[in-house]
Amino acid sequence: MPKGKEFWSRDFASRYGHTSLVADKDKYLFAAEPAKYRFNVIGAGTMGQEHIRVTNFEGRATINGVYDPEPLSVENAKASHAIHRDEPLRIYATIEEACSDPDVDGLIICTPNYTHIDAVRTAAKSGKHILVEKPVATTIPDAYEIAQIADAHEQIFQVGLQYRYKAIYAEAIHEALVRKTLGDVKLISMVEHRMAFLDKVGQWNKYSRYSGGTLVEKCCHYFDLINLFAGARPRRVYASGSMAVNFKNFEHENGKSDILDNAMVVIDYENSVRGSFELAMFVPMFYEEIVLCGDIGRLRASENMDFLPGLPLKSQLEIFGGETFPSRMTTPSYPVAIEESGHNGATFFEHVHFVDSIDNGKSEGPTAMDAFWSVVVGVAAETSVASGEPVDISELLLRNGLDQL
């Protein structure tokens, strides 16, 4: 994304409709720059349409076409694209056609979790830039295979662990890992309280065999962040959880739902850092929190949407230094237009990073190996819930044929 002052003036004026007040021949600040790249979206469901919207909103790329076997998803994608572009959306008959189109620079894979492995195998043959949604796969072997594919892929390969770009977590990363404000991080705690899983095409997210299980499907974002702050590989995982409220009587063509709606997870790392995660998916709000305790300071960041009247703080970040350094409280946020584009602005900045990486020819992450380890923790947690016993990560990898790790 261009960083000049003129860009920001033009960009935000255009987002709020001021471009219509001046004829094209008279535009300078409001002049639209042509898109540099063309992307195809593989899978045009809820997340696919968010990527269509954000790609056009970010502006340096446009969506060339989509592949999705579901007719309603295709029609919705057409409508979403038409808001931003006059050029019609190309509809592909097969995933192979969508991936091999020579007019396309990049592929965004948003298919159901259990199909990621086949989609990535096909997409990698194209030699194009790839952004694949989280979780990168539903099993440890598939996640590792994708990590190996990504390592051999000559173009940018990025995984949609976009929570790294949420305002509260971006600030936490900067304070803890860049500024080292807290000293050495020793303890990490994360919380998510939210409503139940939304409807999906075919309701695949209600079944562990398709989603990977709640602690893989939903929670890989958080395990990725905990892994990042811990700065080491996980050594042992213990988890307790259940299906307490949601979908207990849900039946579809695939049978009865079997996904968790609550859990508590504890992670021991090889460097003695400890992490924990608490999930409740039957709460009438959206609340996330991270607490980092270092040897000289403490950080707490939270994001809240409770639907109540008034103007409560949506995000907060507190840093406590005691007698060591100044304590402070802030409210990390992005401009409203960006936050409303998807996942409180995280998807927008994920796209900024993706296009910047294409421009620079190098990606700094999140990588497919980062995504692999987030899946490992998620699978370990699901395994621990099922068995009632702690899971040793080395033994789990060995059982999955990855003794070399």
Least confident of 1-15, 141-155, 231-245, 338-352: 1-15
pLDDT of residue 301: 98
| H-only helix segments in 140-211 | 140-152, 167-173, 208-211
- In 3-state terms the chain splits into helix, strand, coil percentages (rounded to 5) of 40, 25, 35
Mutual angle of helices 71-84 and 46-58, in 10-degree steps = 20
Instruction: State residue 310's pLDDT score.
Output: 78
Statement: the pTM of the whole predicted model exceeds 0.85? yes
Cα 157 to Cα 365: distance, rounded to the nearest angstrom = 9
The whole-number pLDDT of residue 307 equals 86
Asked if pLDDT for residue 12 goes beyond 70, the answer is no
Residue 179: pLDDT band with limits 50, 70, 90: very high
Residue 6 has pLDDT above 60, yes or no: no
Q: What is the mean pLDDT of residues 99-106?
A: 98
Q: What percent of the chain has pLDDT over 90?
A: 84
SS3 category, 147: helix
Here the tokens at position 37 are: 């790249």
Q: Find the mean pLDDT for residues 3-11.
A: 47
- How does residue 280 score in pLDDT terms, banded at 50, 70 and 90? very high
Instruction: List all residues 6 or more positions away from 389 whose beta carbon is below 8 Å from its beta carbon.
Output: 238
Peptide bond into 34 cis (omega under 30): no
Nearest residue to 338 via CA among 89, 25, 54: 54
**At 395, is the secondary structure helix, strand, or coil?**
helix
Nearest partner of 172 among 329, 299, 273, judged by Cα = 299
Q: d(Cα 371, Cα 159) in Å, to the nearest integer? A: 7
The model's pLDDT over 52-95, given as tens digits with 9 standing for 90+, comes to 999 998 989 999 999 999 999 999 999 999 988 889 999 999 99
Other C-beta atoms closer than 10 Å to the C-beta of 278 total 15
Residue-level pLDDT at 27: 77
CA 73, CA 77: separation in Å to the nearest integer? 6
Element containing residue 158 per DSSP (H, E): strand 157-160
Q: Of 19-23, 72-76, 207-211, 398-402, where does mean pLDDT reach its minimum?
A: 19-23
Q: If you write DSSP's letter for every residue of 59-111 in order, what string do you get?
A: -SEEEEEEE-S-HHHHHHHHHHHHHH-SSPPEE-SSHHHHHH-TT--EEEE-S
φ/ψ of residue 298, rounded to 5? -135, 140
Residue pair 22/48 in contact by the 8 Å Cβ criterion = no
> Which tokens in the block code for residue 259?
């996904």
**Residue 42 pLDDT > 50:** yes
Spatial separation of the C-alpha atoms in residues 273 and 236, rounded to whole Å: 11
Minimum mean pLDDT range among 11-25, 259-273, 360-374, 384-398: 11-25
Instruction: Tell me the pLDDT tens digit for each residue of 317-374.
Output: 999 999 999 999 999 999 888 898 999 999 999 999 999 999 999 988 799 999 999 9
3-state secondary structure labels for all residues of 273-303: CEEEEEEECCCCCEEEEEEEEECCCEEEEEE
Angle between helix axes 140-152 and 368-387 (nearest 10 degrees) is 170
Question: What pLDDT was estimated at residue 17?
Answer: 60
Catalogue the E-assigned strands of 183-270. Answer: 185-193, 234-242, 251-252, 255-256, 262-269
Residue 153's closest CA among 198, 184, 122? 122
* Coil/strand/helix, residue 222: helix
CA 148 to chain centre: 20
Per-residue pLDDT, 7: 46
Sign of CA dihedral 372, 375, 377, 380: negative
pLDDT of residue 129: 98
Within 8 A by CB and 6+ apart from 395, the residues are none
Q: How many CB atoms lie within 10 A of CB 294?
A: 20
| 3-state class (DSSP) for residue 342 | coil
Q: Confidence band (pLDDT; 50, 70, 90) for 10? A: very low
- Map out the domains of the chain with their CATH numbers: 5-160 (3.40.50.720), 164-342+362-399 (3.30.360.10)
My answer on whether omega of the bond before 366 falls inside 30° of 0, hence cis, is yes
Residue 331, class by beta-carbon neighbours within 10 Å (0-12 exposed, 13-18 middle, 19+ buried)?
exposed
Rg (Cα) of the chain, in Å, rounded? 21
Q: What is the mean pLDDT of the chain?
A: 93
Torsion sign over Cα 278, 279, 284, 285 = positive
Contacts of 236 (CB under 8 A, 6+ apart): 267, 268, 390, 391, 392, 393
> What mean pLDDT comes out for the span 378-395?
98
